[in-house]
Chain A
Amino acid sequence: QVQLQESGPGLVKPSQTLSLTCTVSGGSMSSGAYYWSWIRQHPAKGLEWIGYIYHSGRTYYSPSLKSRVTMSLDTSNNQFSLKLHSVTAADTAVYYCARGRATNIDYWGQGTLVTVSS
């Protein structure tokens, strides 16, 4: 059974960089059949796709966040990461890491709340 776990600071100051890591267990990240995603959910709101990265390192970012997002992969440690730069209060959300297959998400992490506040 594949499991994903987010880790990182729960509080980030405005204008700084939000950094999260997702650790994958129970499966290899090297398969070309999957891609590795970040999705967020604002408080009491719906889901927003941030982007995803393939095992090759190729990335796709949401057009609305593209200028501030960087994703990377560390297959040797079964981890992938998200950096969101120049954050504001509007970036306060629960951030999920997830595994994608075809055009859907088949496994999700439990999510981590990140609050942007001084």
Chain B
Amino acid sequence: QSVLTQPPSVSGAPGQRVSISCTGSNSNFGAGYDVHWYQQLPGTAPKLLIFGNNNRPSGVPDRFSGSKSGTSASLGITGLQAEDEADYYCQSYDNSLSSFVFGGGTKVTVL
């Protein structure tokens, strides 16, 4: 049971928009800690996709966006492409656990 809750899977057709939710609590998002998102392509290491709630590292397409409000966060992917098929993880810090925490991951399928 992950501290941050994500849907196991989401899917969409090429070109569509999908959104992945990440639900936390008052000891992580609600305490003001940022959310970060990682993309893990099959057989590879995770890669930083969004940091500090809504910032994209250099090289990440602007089709990816992030937001956080209260105890929830979300990752949006617009103009869905076949290459976006991957697992996506949210991550934050939890002050009740004194530990960094990850969501359980969401598999994105392009139909």
Residues on A close to B: CB < 8 A?
A: 46-49, 52, 60, 62-63, 96, 102-106, 108-111
Contact = CB atoms under 8 A, between A and B. Distances in A.
Q: Which 3 A-B pairs have the closest CB atoms?
A: A104-B36, A108-B45, A47-B102
Contacts of B101: 49
Contacts, number: 56
B103 A46 contact: yes
Contacts of B103: 46
Contact of B99 (A49, A105, A111): A49
Contacts of B51: 102, 104, 106
Interface of A is mostly: strand
B5 to A, nearest CB: 11
B104 interface: yes
Given A47-B105, A109-B45, A110-B45, A104 B34 contact: yes
Interface in B66-87: none
A52 B89 CA distance: 19
Contacts of A48: 102
Given A47-B89, A106-B57, A96 B100 contact: no
A109 B99 CA distance: 21
A103 B33 contact: yes
